[in-house]
Structure 1
């Protein structure tokens, strides 16, 4: 029981963090609001095309926030959401693997990316496994 409470707390914390980071993109677009770092990394040379891509990125930020809220819901309704939490952990793992499609592998080992990559490839599979084990003990 104590282990499950700790797990649910971790899942809620993960969910709030993901939702928060998603909102940075929802309200800030490609440039973000700066909650994750500087916002002056892009120069617009075609405002019309930028606006379209910015809108798509805002949508993805909303999806990201929704994933975070599902993690929070999973912490609250753990028994009913166990499978969904495991699927979300798998999706985050797949997202981490997707980072390896970059043409510049040096970026992966940049300290602005590496902690996220390690969480995606190590923490989330461990959380998913913990959720699986917690369900077997109930």
Structure 2
């Protein structure tokens, strides 16, 4: 449960929102479901949310060098992702199971992210 281990884990895991967010901003919803005729409002909303996801990943990377001192930012990022996971979980219950990648994301959002928040809290407390 070391600082370096946490930094490595967060640095690698942040590649997911950075990559997926950037792809969503650039390619739009056609990246997920090619061939569909997407309404302009859905395209706009999808790219907006992808931009937020990209910013979350970039902010996680910003936290990495001083991860023991950036507790408030780190916890807010974790809360954002966890809340998104709750929304994805509600969709699972109401609309049915999504593609496998989204189910894996749900596990990250509702299980792995709280573990990272706990780990960061331990690292922050140990450095105080």
TM-score normalized by structure 1?
Answer: 0.81
Kept in 2, the 8 Å contact 1:19–1:66? The answer is yes
How big is each residue's C-alpha offset from its partner over 1:58-102, in whole Å with a ceiling of 9 and x where there is no partner?
111111100000000011232342221122112111111111322
Unaligned runs of 5+ in 1: 33-37
Q: Segments of 4+ in structure 1 off by > 3 A?
A: none
User: Which residue of 1 is the match for residue 95 of structure 2?
Assistant: 104
1:43 corresponding residue in structure 2: 36
Q: Which has the larger radius of gyration?
A: 1
Q: Aligned to 2:70, what secondary structure does the other structure show? A: helix
CA contact (8 A) 1:86 1:129 kept: no
In structure 2, distance between residues paired with 1:131 and 1:63: 22
TM-score by length of 2: 0.86
What is the alpha-carbon root mean square deviation over aligned residues? 1.9
Partners of 2:41 and 2:103 in 1: CA distance: 29
Tell me by how many angstroms 1:55 deviates: 1.7
- 1:60 alignment partner in structure 2: 49
- Gaps (5+ residues) in structure 2? none
Quote how far apart the aligned CAs of 1:113 are. Answer: 2.4
CA contact (8 A) 1:93 1:125 kept: yes
Residues 30, 36 of structure 2: 8 Å contact kept: no
Deviations along 1:94-138, whole A, 9 cap, x unmatched?
Answer: 111111322223x15x52322111111110000000001111111
> Are the aligned partners of 1:14 and 1:71 in contact in 2 as well (CA < 8 Å)?
no
Contact 1:19-1:68 at 8 Å conserved across structures: yes
